[in-house]
Structure 1
Amino acid sequence: MSRRCQLTGRQPGFGKSVSHSHVRTNRRWDPNVQTRRYWLPTEGRYLRLKLSTRAIKVVDRDGIEAVVARLRARGERI
């Protein structure tokens, strides 16, 4: 499963873990991506999106119709 938000584009960050002895190993910081299902009343169907928790707040604030219009304007297939 791709750990990428469909709305904000958030994806994993990469870096190093540094131990007490200062040995550096690779690690990654995954965004908190959730699969959410929204009802699209204009199309009469449910829509399944993979969104970060910040993007879920954007959908709550702006509404699913505005978010879908923004995604389609960007050229993303929904």
Structure 2
Amino acid sequence: MAQLRTCVCGQSGQPYRKDLMSAHCQLTGVQPVFGNHVSHSHRRTRRRWSPNIQQRRYWVPSEGRFVKLTLSARAIKTIDKIGIERAVARIRARGERI
């Protein structure tokens, strides 16, 4: 879900709103995974693997409106397979608000 944050612009000092999108899938719940980058000399530094998150807009016939979803690439294929109605039901069962 997008989170609104009020920031101050560096040059003018005027506040502005910035939408922040968390990197998680609304259907599958996949989130970034953290681990170590291991160099040739076996030095370990922290890194993160981000999921392939996309924003898609789907028409939901039962509600008569479009819904904008934040989905992983795998979840997009799942929606193609099971349909948007069942996918929306799964998202709501997880407690997500659409």
Task: Give the TM-score, by structure 1 length.
Answer: 0.91
Is structure 2 residue 80 aligned with structure 1 residue 60? yes
How big is the alpha-carbon RMSD for the aligned residues of Structure 1 and Structure 2?
1.0
Higher helix share: 1
Structural mapping, 1:1-78, within 5 Å:
1-78=21-98
Question: Structure 1 regions of 5+ residues with no counterpart?
Answer: none
Higher relative contact order (CA 8 A, sep 6+): 1
Question: Structure 2 regions of 5+ residues with no counterpart?
Answer: 1-20
Higher strand share: 2
Matches of 2:66 and 2:92, distance apart in 1: 16
Seq. identity, % = 68
Q: Which runs of 4+ in 1 moved over 6 A?
A: none
The total of aligned residue pairs comes to: 78
